[in-house]
Amino acid sequence: MSDSRRVLFHILILLISKSWSFTINSFWKKFPYTGPVTFNYYSLISNSSLIYCTATCSSLYNWDQIYYQGEDCYCLAPSYVNGTGMVTTNSSMWTIFKEESYCTEKEYKIFPDQKYCLKHFLTGQTWEDDNIRCRQDSGYLISVYTLQDLTNLRSLYTHNRFMYIGAHKKRNGTDFVWTTGGTVSKMFWNSGEPNDASGTEMCASVLSYGAFDDILCNRKFSFICQILTK
């Protein structure tokens, strides 16, 4: 093998090993977060190229990181709720869709036009605990993208106390983002909110009349879980 061919050969091997190791090792623990953190936002784009995945995650969803394997692309972002939690490697973090029959089994109310079902849990814990409870049902703390979503939420919301919803703020961020993706529309916030009153109001809640307020994440509030349906 000539010198130039040898160099080319080594470059080729390097490229192959790099791409192979990316596929194998591009896992959650690769992400450069040093503190305790839970990845709470995620979205799956099937049959995606790595380039499309990268561009879409960063521009469309403003996610912090991606996980790309095979041709599936996961957009991810960490949450920093009170510095608690751990890096999660559980594949159940990824977006899950269920059949409507699953909602029926779990006693969720089905909203077929919006392709989700909802259930109100009267006894709530912290935002993170409520979020975990929804995940146990393969669901999410409720996201509100439209006025119809808000109407659906209020149809189940029968008390007059705060309730956690599925949005919170990224560390150093100014926008509240939904766990199912996207930012919270300005029209939903109560007048003067989000005001970050204590400097640590990282989680979103809804008031009985349907307006949002940013509040502390460690309060204990009831919540609505949302299961996305096919």
Residues making contact with Ca ion (CB under 5 A): 193, 195, 197, 201, 213-214
**Smallest separation (angstroms) from Ca ion to the CB of 187:** 17
**Which residues are paired to 74 by β-bridges?**
44, 67
Nearer to Ca ion, 107 or 209 (CB): 209
Question: Which residue type is seen at 73?
Answer: C
The encoded tokens of residue 36 equal 């305790």
The encoded tokens of residue 118 equal 């909802």
Q: How far apart are CA 216 and CA 224, in angstroms?
A: 18
**Smallest separation (angstroms) from Ca ion to the CB of 201:** 5
**Smallest separation (angstroms) from Ca ion to the CB of 192:** 8
Establish whether the linkage from the previous residue to 78 is cis, with ω within 30° of 0. no
Nearer to Ca ion, 123 or 198 (CB): 198
Nearer to Ca ion, 116 or 164 (CB): 164
**Smallest separation (angstroms) from Ca ion to the CB of 168:** 12
**Smallest separation (angstroms) from Ca ion to the CB of 174:** 14
Q: Which letter, b or e, does each residue of 179-206 get, where b requires 16 or more Cβ atoms within 10 Å of its Cβ?
A: bbbbebeeebbbeebbeeeeeebbbbbb
- Using CA atoms of 28, 145, 121, 131 in order, give the dihedral in degrees to the nearest 10: 10
Q: How far apart are CA 63 and CA 61, in angstroms?
A: 5
Q: Which of 131, 138, 58 is nearest to 92 (CA)?
A: 138
Distinct helix (H) and strand (E) counts, the chain: 5, 12
Nearer to Ca ion, 58 or 82 (CB): 82
Q: Are 116 and 225 in contact (CB under 8 A)?
A: no
Nearer to Ca ion, 78 or 194 (CB): 194
Closest chain position to Ca ion (CB): 214
**Smallest separation (angstroms) from Ca ion to the CB of 210:** 16
Residue 103: in which H helix or E strand, if any?
Answer: helix 100-105
Nearer to Ca ion, 1 or 187 (CB): 187
